[in-house]
Amino acid sequence: MSCQAAGSCSKKSLFPLGELEELFPGKVKFQADMRQFTTLKVGGPSDALVEPSSPAEVDKLMAWCKKNEVPWLVVGRGSNLVVRDGGIRGVVMRVGRAMAGLQAQESKELVRLRVQAGCPVSRLLREAVRRGWDGLGFMTGIPGYLGGAVAMNAGSSETGMDSVVEELEWFDPEAGVVRLSRQELNFNYRSLSLPKGGVILEVTLALRPGETQRVREAVRMQMRKRKAAQPLGKPSAGSVFKNPPGDFAGRLIEKAGLKGLSRGGAVVSERHANFILNMGGARASDVLGLMEEIQKRVLEQSGVPLEPEVRIVGEDG
């Protein structure tokens, strides 16, 4: 059966995507509306979206894509993603709640967690508060899944995921399953160097045992700080631009007088200038147009080139 025959695939797709239904029954969405799979709520459809439920299924899906020369894109919750209006050709591999296992080994000196990549950061924080695991407060308010948080080295202005990651397991398109220690990983500001197309499977975190009340208060304090500084009520992709060395992107954007600047349904937040909000009905082209205008105006005003922190994927509409 071809996806064209099933009438469910993009006219732009030239790939035998219908075969995926037989390989992953009940786990495939054709013409998946990427607005439903990103926190910014913009973008066109993907030819197919598959949610594997185990490392073995990741291997199986990647092998199928390679055999059929079908491009694939790995996503989690899509909290730092801008999908262009033309959508995504090929397969979106969504590592989500079907791969969200969590195991803990606790001692008096150390809490070691083995967590699958699809575990929501919010669930991890709830467990940390409930069981008194110290060291994750900086993740408060991060909306994504753990794999994505590690891939972008998410965190606060003071620290990031590299401070708690002890070991990482991922699926390499060429080498298969790879496991490396923290010392062997190349973390950078808001990024982690991984082979193109690699899929994070499991993360080992090293935390400290603490008191439940103290951990709870640290999380509450961080949430209060985020709520005071960041707009949390409208769809966004989080921080749009990376902070340049020794400065803050939000400060430079505000200095250029760009708070409240809008295009279509997208607007630069009045609360935090490094956030672009979807006020309703925004298109990816609105967001990307605002980003280009921000980069141009900040460069003219401050002489600083801003680099996107969000990933921009897909085709123009």
DSSP H or E segment with residue 147? helix 146-151
Residue showing tokens 């948080």:
149
The angle at the Cα of 276, spanning 274 to 282, to the nearest 5 degrees, equals 170
Angstrom distance (rounded) from CA 296 to CA 241: 13
Q: Residue 176: beta bridge partners?
A: 172
SS3 121: helix
Angstrom distance (rounded) from CA 231 to CA 114: 32
Angstrom distance (rounded) from CA 304 to CA 283: 27
CB 154 within 8 A of CB 144: yes
Angstrom distance (rounded) from CA 317 to CA 43: 9
- How many C-beta atoms surround the C-beta of residue 260 within 10 A? 10
The angle at the Cα of 291, spanning 154 to 73, to the nearest 5 degrees, equals 55
> Which value, to the nearest 10 degrees, does the dihedral of the CA atoms of residues 202, 207, 211, 217 take?
-80
**The residue type at 72:** W
HSE-up of residue 269 (Cα within 13 Å, Cβ side): 23
Active site residues: 190, 239, 309
Q: Which tokens in the block code for residue 170? A: 């991922």
- Short-list 156, 154, 195, CA closest to 62: 195
